[in-house]
C-alpha cells in the first residue's frame, strides 16, 4: 500500500457567538481538512484547527506546510506510522497543528486497513467520556447566564476563561459558583494572562470556591513562575501552552512545575506525540486532560479516540464543535445530554466530511 494523493481544503466555520480568551477573540475557526488517498482505495481524514497565538501557525501558513508534508508522504507506506511521523517532524518541526492533521489521516488509514477503530488500534477500549463546557471571557453577568444555561443542559463541569483584571476575574468565578451551586465542577483557564504575583493572588482568593484546577496561569515561557505557583497555590496547576511534546512534559515534571498536563493534538503534532506526553506524565504520576482548539467533530473524534484508549487521561475538554453554527461532519463522535460523548465503532476514525461542504472550499491537490 502507498499514498498516491493528498487533498487539502481550507475552511472557515462560523461560531454561534464571539469567543474571547486572554489571548484574543474570534468569530470563526480557521481549519484545514486533509484527505490522504492510497492505491488500495482507502481514504484517511484529518483536521488542523489553527490558533496562531498558541502555535504560531495560521490557515495560510498551514496550507503551505501541508503541501510540503504531503509531498513527503507521497509513495510512502501509510502503515509505517512511526517512521513517517518522525520524518514529518524532522521536515518542519514548528508546524504541529498542520502535522496533526496528516498524523490523524495516517491513523485513520491504518485503522481502516486492519479493521479497527483508532481507540482499539491504540490498545484501548471504548469507555465513557464526558466533556466540560467552556465560558469565554465576557462581563460577569453574561458569563453567569451562560453557566446557568450549561447547567440546565445537564453539564456537570464548566471551564471559565480568565486572565484579565484581578477584581473582574474574582467576580466572574464568584458569581458563577453562587449561581450553579456546589455540585458543579468549576475549572479556570487564564491562557497565560497573569504574571505569577497576580496569579497567586487570584488563586488564593478562589481557593474557597472549590476550583478543580487552573490552566496555564502564567506565560508558557515563565518556567520559574509556574514552578513558584505550583509550590504555593492552593489550586492545582495544569500546564497547557507550556507543553507541546514529551520533552516539554519531562522538563516541567522534573521541575515539579505542574499537577496536571493538558494534551491537545493541535499542539503535539498528532496522536503519536500525544501518547508520548501521556506516557511521560503517567510515569511521574501526573494525570492528563485531553483538550481542543475549536475543531469540528472530525478532529474532536480523533482526540476522543486517544482519550478513550489512555486511562491516564481523566479530564475531557472536547466542546469545540458545540460552538459551531454548521456541522459538516458525517459520522464521528456524538454529543449526548450533559456532554456525554459516544465514540464511533467503525474502523479508523469513523468520521468523514460532507462532500457538498468540501466542494465549496478552496482545494489544493498533491499527487505523485
Model pTM? 0.96
Tally of domains within the chain: 2
Cell of 329: 461532519
Give the C-alpha separation, 363 to 354, whole Å: 15
From the candidates 103, 169, 240, 295, give the one annotated as an active-site residue.
Answer: 240
Task: Point out the least confidently predicted range of 21-30, 73-82, 154-163.
Answer: 21-30
Kindly state whether residues 276 and 206 are assigned to the same domain: yes
Alpha carbon separation from 318 to 15, 302, 330 (Å, rounded): 15, 11, 17
- pLDDT over 90 (residue 343): yes
Give the C-alpha separation, 343 to 308, whole Å: 9
Kindly state whether residues 98 and 155 are assigned to the same domain: no
Task: Give me the mean pLDDT over the 356-368 stretch.
Answer: 96
- pLDDT over 90 (residue 136): yes
Task: Give me the mean pLDDT over the 25-52 stretch.
Answer: 96
Kindly state whether residues 331 and 286 are assigned to the same domain: yes
Mean pLDDT for the chain overall: 97
Q: What integer pLDDT is reported at residue 228 of this predicted model?
A: 97
Kindly state whether residues 335 and 209 are assigned to the same domain: yes
Kindly state whether residues 130 and 36 are assigned to the same domain: no
> Annotated catalytic, 182?
no
| CATH number of 63's domain | 3.30.390.10
Kindly state whether residues 187 and 334 are assigned to the same domain: yes
Task: Give me the mean pLDDT over the 84-99 stretch.
Answer: 97
Task: Give me the mean pLDDT over the 79-99 stretch.
Answer: 97
Give the C-alpha separation, 101 to 172, whole Å: 36
Task: Look up cell 488500495; give the residue.
Answer: 40
Give the C-alpha separation, 214 to 204, whole Å: 12
- pLDDT over 90 (residue 280): yes
Q: What integer pLDDT is reported at residue 169 of this predicted model?
A: 97
Task: Give me the mean pLDDT over the 133-143 stretch.
Answer: 97
Kindly state whether residues 282 and 255 are assigned to the same domain: yes
Residue range 215-246, pLDDT digits in tens: 999 999 999 999 999 999 999 999 999 999 99
Kindly state whether residues 83 and 130 are assigned to the same domain: no
- pLDDT over 90 (residue 368): no
Q: What integer pLDDT is reported at residue 235 of this predicted model?
A: 98
Task: Please write down the HEC assignment for all residues of 47-111.
Answer: EEECCHHHHCCCHHHHHHHHHHHHHHHCCCCCCCHHHHHHHHHHHCCCCHHHHHHHHHHHHHHHH
CB 127 within 8 A of CB 308: yes
Kindly state whether residues 111 and 127 are assigned to the same domain: no
Kindly state whether residues 85 and 225 are assigned to the same domain: no
- pLDDT over 90 (residue 203): yes
- pLDDT over 90 (residue 38): yes
Residue range 163-182, pLDDT digits in tens: 999 999 999 999 999 999 99
Cell of 66: 501541508
From the candidates 264, 295, 317, 322, give the one annotated as an active-site residue.
Answer: 264
Kindly state whether residues 38 and 133 are assigned to the same domain: no
> Annotated catalytic, 16?
no
Kindly state whether residues 93 and 151 are assigned to the same domain: no
User: pLDDT above 90 covers what percent of the chain?
Assistant: 99
> Annotated catalytic, 189?
yes
| CATH number of 344's domain | 3.20.20.120
From the candidates 159, 161, 267, 287, give the one annotated as an active-site residue.
Answer: 161
Range of the domain at 260: 120-351
Q: What one-character-per-residue DSSP string does 291-352 give?
A: --SS--HHHHHHHHHHHHH-TTEEEE---GGGGBS---EEES-EE-GGGEEE---SSBT-EE
Amino acid at each position: 500500500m502507498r499514498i498516491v494523493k493528498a487533498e487539502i481544503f481550507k475552511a472557515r466555520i462560523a461560531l454561534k457567538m464571539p469567543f474571547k480568551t486572554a489571548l484574543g477573540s474570534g468569530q470563526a475557526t480557521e481549519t484545514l481538512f486533509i484527505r490522504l488517498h492510497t492505491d488500495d482505495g482507502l481514504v484517511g481524514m484529518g483536521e488542523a484547527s489553527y490558533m496562531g497565538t498558541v502555535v504560531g501557525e495560521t490557515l495560510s501558513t498551514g496550507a503551505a506546510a501541508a503541501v510540503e508534508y504531503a509531498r513527503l508522504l507521497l509513495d510512502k507506506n501509510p502503515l509505517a506510522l512511526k517512521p513517517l511521523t518522525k520524518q514529518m517532524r524532522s521536515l518542519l518541526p514548528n508546524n504541529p497543528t498542520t502535522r496533526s492533521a496528516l498524523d490523524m489521516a495516517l491513523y485513520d488509514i491504518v485503522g481502516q486497513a486492519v479493521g479497527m477503530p483508532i481507540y482499539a488500534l491504540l490498545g484501548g477500549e471504548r469507555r465513557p467520556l464526558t466533556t466540560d463546557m467552556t465560558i469565554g471571557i465576557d462581563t460577569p453577568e453574561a458569563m453567569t447566564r451562560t453557566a446557568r444555561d450549561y447547567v440546565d443542559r445537564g453539564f456537570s463541569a464548566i471551564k471559565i476563561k480568565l486572565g484579565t483584571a484581578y477584581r473582574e476575574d474574582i467576580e466572574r468565578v464568584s458569581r458563577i459558583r453562587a449561581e450553579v451551586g456546589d455540585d458543579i465542577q468549576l475549572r479556570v483557564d487564564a491562557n497565560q494572562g497573569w504574571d505569577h504575583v497576580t496569579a497567586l493572588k487570584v488563586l488564593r482568593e478562589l481557593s474557597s470556591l472549590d476550583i478543580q484546577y487552573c490552566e496555564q496561569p502564567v506565560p508558557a515561557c515563565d518556567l520559574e513562575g509556574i514552578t513558584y505557583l505550583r509550590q504555593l497555590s492552593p489550586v492545582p496547576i495544569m500546564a497547557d501552552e507550556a507543553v507541546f511534546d514529551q520533552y516539554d512534559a519531562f522538563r516541567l515534571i522534573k521541575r515539579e512545575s505542574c499537577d496536571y498536563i493538558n494534551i491537545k493534538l493541535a499542539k503535539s503534532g498528532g496522536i503519536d506525540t500525544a501518547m508520548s506526553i501521556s506516557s511521560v506524565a503517567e510515569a511521574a504520576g501526573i494525570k492528563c486532560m485531553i483538550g481542543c482548539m475549536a475543531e469540528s467533530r472530525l478532529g474532536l473524534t480523533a482526540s476522543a479516540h486517544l482519550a478513550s484508549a489512555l486511562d491516564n487521561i481523566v479530564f475531557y475538554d472536547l466542546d469545540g464543535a458545540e460552538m459551531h453554527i454548521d456541522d459538516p461532519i458525517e459520522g464521528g463522535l456524538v454529543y449526548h445530554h450533559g456532554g456525554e460523548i459516544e465514540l464511533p465503532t467503525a474502523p479508523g476514525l469513523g468520521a468523514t466530511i460532507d462532500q457538498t461542504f468540501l466542494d465549496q472550499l478552496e482545494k489544493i491537490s498533491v499527487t505523485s
